A and B are shown apart, each in its own frame.
Chain A
Amino acid sequence: MKYLRTFLNFWRKFIIGDDARIAIVVMWTLLLLKSLTSNVLNEWYILPIVVMVLLTAIVYGNSIDHHMYKKTTTTFRVFVSITIPMIIVMAIPLLLFRYINSETDLHQTFVPFSIFILIAMIVSGVMGQLYAKFPVMSIFISGVISYLFVLPLQPSVIQLSTYLSAHYQLASTFLALAIPIFFVTYIVTAFRHAEDKRI
């Protein structure tokens, strides 16, 4: 059992390395892109943007604390602190692109996308809390479960959003805008909190 654990630990450190956040963000992004990419959606710019934002966030975190780089404590915080900025990066270009491209109705793309992400986050957050002792494993498990859970819902989510757009335009527009506004507020607050700690 000890040798098995050593063997698994070796592979975990080898592939994931010393910073699990990189693996988590990459996994999430690819799962979500796989769910969303279709004949209509071909968001090729999302992955490079996520890569650059992720690297910026990680090296910025190192520059704040210089040689004493602090890791976030609980699984849920790790997960939320990664997922929310990542969603922002994915949601804003998609929103802008579809808004500029007037042939596509915003409610048919952004609203289902937002609901999709929200459900995935809730499921993953719950799973992350349940496996608090094993952060990396819990995040992978929660990511896989979210993917399996949310993917079958996608047609229903699209139907729901079409219904909402047709009957409750104001509500669906609010939903589409409220989520990124909430995320931006969260990020600004998190950065301010990090700055206060540094001072």
Chain B
Amino acid sequence: MANSKFKIQNLKFRKLWMGIAILIILSPIGLILPELLKAGGAWGEWGADEIEKIAGYVPHGLKKLSELWKAPIPDYAFSGWDKGVKSYIGYIFSGIIGAALVIGVSMLIGKIFAGKNGNS
């Protein structure tokens, strides 16, 4: 019973899942467009080094807190894969990994929430 429900759900939203997949494949547009138009990162999302260039110094608290967390895939890039075509491929991989994690967590949380009210 649970199996067929899952298949039906898959079929039901198949176009939308495929839409996500297509978006992931197209995601390097998010790298290419800024490169083409010579744009940098988002305003106010600069690291300590860039802040030093902009403000002339690194605020003390910012320096400390900016080292708080070492993300596994910082800036959606893999080490050594940060330029050119490699960066686009790495970006897609990041998209796949991130989407998979988000989907997994959402399914888990969703199942827990839905399970509590006996709706089906």
Are these two chains actual partners, yes or no? no
